[in-house]
A and B are shown apart, each in its own frame.
Chain A
Amino acid sequence: MSSPTAPNPEFDLLRVPVIGRFLSWRRARLVLQIPLFAIAFLMVAQGLTGSQLSPKNLATVLTWVHYRGALIVVLMVAGNFFCLGCPFVMVRDVARRFVKPKHNWPQRLQNKWLALGLFVLVLFCYELFDLWGSPLWTAVLILAYFVGALIIDTRFKHATFCKFVCPIGQFNFVASTLSPLEVKVRDLDVCSSCKTKDCIKSRQETTSTSSDIVFVQRGCELALFQPLKVGNLDCTFCLDCVHACPHENVGILARTPASELWNDQRRSGVGQLSKRNDFAALSAIFTFGALLNAFGMVSPVYAVETWLSRVLGITSETPILGLIFVLALVVEPMLLLGGAALATRQFTRTRGSLLTITTTFAPTLIPLGCGMWLAHYTFHLLTGLWTFIPVFQYAFQQWGMPILGAPNWSFGGIPVMLVKPLEWGFLALGVLGSLLVAHNIAKREHPTKTTVAFLPWAILSLILWFCALWLLSQPMEMRATLLSS
């Protein structure tokens, strides 16, 4: 084994004392997964058997107040560390000790369309069945993730569930394009002289007693070959590549957030972003879904539902909500993105199809989407920050083990007046990011007509930003608090 590479001027999390040493340890993932699995177990147990009053139940409070908020905060300040600690993968890893997957995921499903559909389905079910108010159905959703990961990954090889199915995974992949950290090669020269390519092929050794080959460390299950990997897309931060590299040449390095969004280089396991229609659709759904998810929590949504109900003469909520979803996630993006693409084509006098232009510029939306998710979910996280304490106390009391004392329901969170300005700040950074991405894509695609190519996408970003500001200025329903139930 060669010596570690020369010191790199970039920040490398794996070289930070304690944290770096822990993450470089081969069992680090398991150590993170076990507590998350234990918490998930408690959430499912109480969701299925405990009080169905959502603010008193671990399943609803931890899922809809704490997990979502913590997830997006960690993605924005560090990277995709929740995928690293994913308990679904731990369960499937255990199952794979007994059942070896034999099949490859079908070629025609090797894209984001299925996961995109499931992502929309989860958003739809969340609104339709008021998941934040139903511990039982929240527990069922968590179980569905476990079962889904188990079934798919014991039948299909590699990280099929993570890469092509998991809706949370897709959310994390898209959001992690804005993360300041990236799992990345420290020195490309070392890779060019590497003979083993263990980071992708896995590290194998021959046993001392026989000539059998034993896999001692798997390589990247998501088909990301480190020297050709660009950015965080499809990276679960599993750190398999870090452990597999015989040259200790993979780190968790600092980078400019969102810079991968204007980089159209062909990337390993992903291809070229400007040729991935599924990724463009995912970007659009990610951003318009953020607006829709917030819209579902403010009072105007009830007015719209009531109005549609009266106009269409429908009393069932399902078709009305379905119509709102179609308008918000299909019609509105098509009109706005199509309009921006048409304007770009007219202004730059190019001949590309509207779909091609839209796909090229679609990453523009992601920073604003991240800003919206961050503003929305941190609002719930921070205003309900301490609510997990009485909920845990109550859960253990219900299980006949009042080891944490009687529930103290006066635990709340940070006052709204202190949280609100943070929301505006997150949205401001979001729109700034969108403008940066749009400008850099315009510069890359139209070096001589950058300004006119940039203009339609800047206007689109500003329109969406105003929508987001309006939404967040509305009184927001406090989900998973007592009044919601």
Chain B
Amino acid sequence: MRHLFSLFSLLTLCALAHAHNGLPTLVLQNKVSGPYKVTLWADPHVGQGNLSVVLTPTGQTPPDQAPDKVEVAVQPTSKRLDEKIYPAKLKFKFQRQYPYYYAEVPFDKVDSWDVRVLLHNQQKVDVVTAQMGTKADNLNPWFLPLYALPFAVIGLIWIRAARKKTGSPTEI
């Protein structure tokens, strides 16, 4: 019972977890910063967006040596808001060796944003900068009937056609 409860809790909590929801956008690729090549991907949705930092060693670093801490800092390019810094957490999947650093970043509106990736390593901080745009995530509710219409029409035609076919086999 205890095990089942823990499974239920895990599933419930997981449902709240945000993975990359859609094809991420490439913001910058293989920019060398200190001992790493930095690639930055974004799901730049207004509301809850996220940034993923993929680090590959430039050759001077052994592959298993990770930075002490990774952060991302975002600020509208217009400077209408102060810069905010968010921690990026190392993500692993079960038994699978695909690590990357993942940060959830709230964006308030569609805008152009300056992004800084901060790689903390032995009291030294390497910084990579980039620029990206955010996009609206939600479909206008008025579009939903438009979406539903063709499915409703197909469904009705299907029901009509199925009712005509009584199910009795055609004799040959």
Contact = CB atoms under 8 A, between A and B. Distances in A.
B23 A383 contact: yes
B10 A429 contact: no
Interface in B14-42: 14-15, 17-26, 29, 39, 41
Interface string B72-98: 000000000000000000000111101
Contacts of B172: 188, 227-228
A483 B20 contact: yes
Name the interface size band of chain B: 35 or more
Interface string A284-313: 000000000000001110111111010100
A483 B148 contact: no
A425 to B, nearest CB: 4
B138 interface: yes
B130 interface: no
Contacts of A409: 26, 29
B98 to A, nearest CB: 6
Contact of B162 (A264, A440, A474, A484): A440
Contacts of A478: 20, 22-24
Interface in B126-164: 135-139, 143-144, 147-148, 150-151, 154-155, 158-159, 161-162, 164
Nearest to B161: A256
A420 B45 CA distance: 15
Given A475-B17, A476-B19, A304 B11 contact: yes
B54 A482 contact: yes
Contacts of B19: 298-299, 475-477
B14 A303 contact: yes
A410 B26 contact: yes
A428 B158 contact: no
Contacts of A473: 15
Contacts of A387: 23
A31 interface: no
Q: Is the interface of B mostly helix, strand, loop or mixed?
A: mixed
Given A299-B17, A443-B167, A482 B26 contact: yes
B10 A421 contact: no
Nearest to A305: B94
Contacts of B94: 302, 305-306, 309, 317
B170 interface: yes
Contacts of A228: 172
B111 to A, nearest CB: 17
Interface residues of A, number: 61
Nearest to A178: B158
A307 B10 contact: yes
- B52, B135, B136, B162 — most chain A CB neighbours (10 Å): B162
Interface string A448-466: 0000000000000000000
A436 B172 CA distance: 25
- A230, A410, A436 — most chain B CB neighbours (10 Å): A436
B52 A483 contact: yes
Given A429-B154, A475-B18, A477-B19, A422 B147 contact: yes
A470 B96 CA distance: 25
Contact of A415 (B20, B22, B150): B22
A265 interface: yes
A416 interface: yes
Nearest to B25: A412
Given A303-B13, A478-B22, A483-B52, 19 more contacts: A130-B96, A133-B98, A228-B172, A230-B170, A256-B164, A298-B19, A303-B7, A304-B10, A317-B94, A317-B95, A412-B23, A417-B137, A425-B151, A429-B151, A429-B154, A475-B19, A478-B20, A482-B39, A482-B54
23 contacts: A188-B172, A228-B172, A256-B162, A256-B165, A263-B170, A265-B169, A298-B19, A300-B10, A302-B93, A302-B94, A317-B94, A383-B23, A415-B22, A421-B147, A422-B147, A436-B162, A474-B15, A478-B22, A481-B23, A482-B54, A483-B24, A483-B100, A485-B98
Interface of B: 3, 6-7, 10-11, 13-15, 17-26, 29, 39, 41, 52, 54, 93-96, 98, 100, 135-139, 143-144, 147-148, 150-151, 154-155, 158-159, 161-162, 164-165, 167-170, 172
